[in-house]
Amino acid sequence: MSNQDKRSRKKFSIGSTIVYLFLFIASILSLFPFYWMFVMATRPSAAYNSIPPTLTPGNMLVENLNKVLNQIDFFGGMWNSFVLCSVVTIVVLFISSLAGFAFAKFKFPGKNIFFVAVLVTMIIPPQLGLIPQYFLISKAGLLDSLPGVMILFFLNPLGIFLMRQYITEAVPDELIEAAKLDGCSNFRIYWRIVLPIILPAFATLGIIVFTAVWGEFLWQFTILRDPETYTIQVALAQLSNTHNIDFGMILSGVFWATVPLLIVFLLFNRLFISSITDGSVK
């Protein structure tokens, strides 16, 4: 004990000060753009021209937001993004867990080939099919509509991979065998036995899918051309797509679009962070 004490006391020296300093600077640099975005969102655009720069919040939070609301359909964009992400997340969870269940627990000819095929689809860069995908959506009459955006996001090979891993480990074969002896149909086994067990994995995959779709830009930008159907990302991008830029307004828009997600993150940060490692490392 005393030995350990000595060691920890010794570490509380120059070395540890440097470590703290380094991490402190890193955390400040991570946070500063958020803080500064808030400052700018509360200031008139003219504050931008002052030297030295303004670093304290002003009182124009509401006014700048009003300017954003005049420029783009902010709430419409947030709502569209929310609907888009929610539907995609639910569908991906369903498709992935069903397929993951099949790959983990059923025997059928060609299973391994199909699974390798799922993995191979991960490597195809999304830009390769962009143009035909655009015309496909256009042919189907789904341009400028959320379903037109959604369908591409339903493809999520990573989800199938994660679900297969999780179901293999977490759902005992005996449980499935027992349910079969009781005359459960396979879908009933999936619905009543597998689903409740894999709920934690749903949280992980759900966070990965929701945040990825929320932030995706290229596809939404390509399919959505009508301001009525803009998601928040496409709507925000319009703020800078002019030569007459109002910085206060831009950052106000970004601020209000970022805050909801940040609050959710701060509440569930452990879940978020573990979802990243589960999603990429496994």
Within 48-77, the residues that bind other proteins by CB under 8 A are 48-53
**Residues in 131-150 that interact with other proteins by CB under 8 A:** 131-136
Q: Is 204 in the site for other proteins (CB under 8 A)?
A: no
Q: Is 171 in the site for other proteins (CB under 8 A)?
A: no
Q: Is 261 in the site for other proteins (CB under 8 A)?
A: yes
Closest separation in Å from C-beta 66 to other proteins? 18
**Interface stretch with other proteins, choices 61-69, 71-79, 195-203, 240-248 (CB under 8 A):** 240-248
With CB under 8 A as the contact rule, the residue among 58, 144, 186, 195 that binds other proteins is 186
Closest separation in Å from C-beta 228 to other proteins? 19
With CB under 8 A as the contact rule, the residue among 17, 31, 141, 175 that binds other proteins is 31
Closest separation in Å from C-beta 14 to other proteins? 13
Pick between residue 125 and residue 196 the one whose CB is nearest to other proteins. 125
**Residues in 92-131 that interact with other proteins by CB under 8 A:** 95-96, 98-99, 101-103, 106-109, 111, 114, 117-118, 121, 124-131
Closest separation in Å from C-beta 52 to other proteins? 7
Instruction: Please tell me the distance from the alpha carbon of residue 223 to that of residue 245, in angstroms, as a whole number.
Output: 25
Pick between residue 30 and residue 59 the one whose CB is nearest to other proteins. 30
A 10 A CB-CB count for 37 gives: 17
Q: Is 37 in the site for other proteins (CB under 8 A)?
A: yes
**105: nearest Cα among 156, 163, 154:** 163
Pick between residue 129 and residue 172 the one whose CB is nearest to other proteins. 129
Q: Is 211 in the site for other proteins (CB under 8 A)?
A: yes
With CB under 8 A as the contact rule, the residue among 75, 187, 191, 268 that binds other proteins is 187
3-state secondary structure the chain: CHHHHHHHHHHCCHHHHHHHHHHHHHHHHHHHHHHHHHHHHCCCHHHHHCCCCCCCCCCCHHHHHHHHHHHCCHHHHHHHHHHHHHHHHHHHHHHHHHHHHHHHHCCCCCHHHHHHHHHHHCCCCCCCCHHHHHHHHHHCCCCCCHHHHHHHHCCCHHHHHHHHHHHHHHCCHHHHHHHHHCCCCHHHHHHHHHHHHCHHHHHHHHHHHHHHHHHCCHHHHHHCCCHHHCCHHHHHHHHHCCCCCCHHHHHHHHHHHHHHHHHHHHHCHHHHHHHHHHHHHC
With CB under 8 A as the contact rule, the residue among 6, 8, 119, 191 that binds other proteins is 8
Q: Is 197 in the site for other proteins (CB under 8 A)?
A: no
CA distances from 207 to 51, 94, 186, 196, 269 (A): 42, 14, 28, 18, 11
Q: Is 191 in the site for other proteins (CB under 8 A)?
A: no
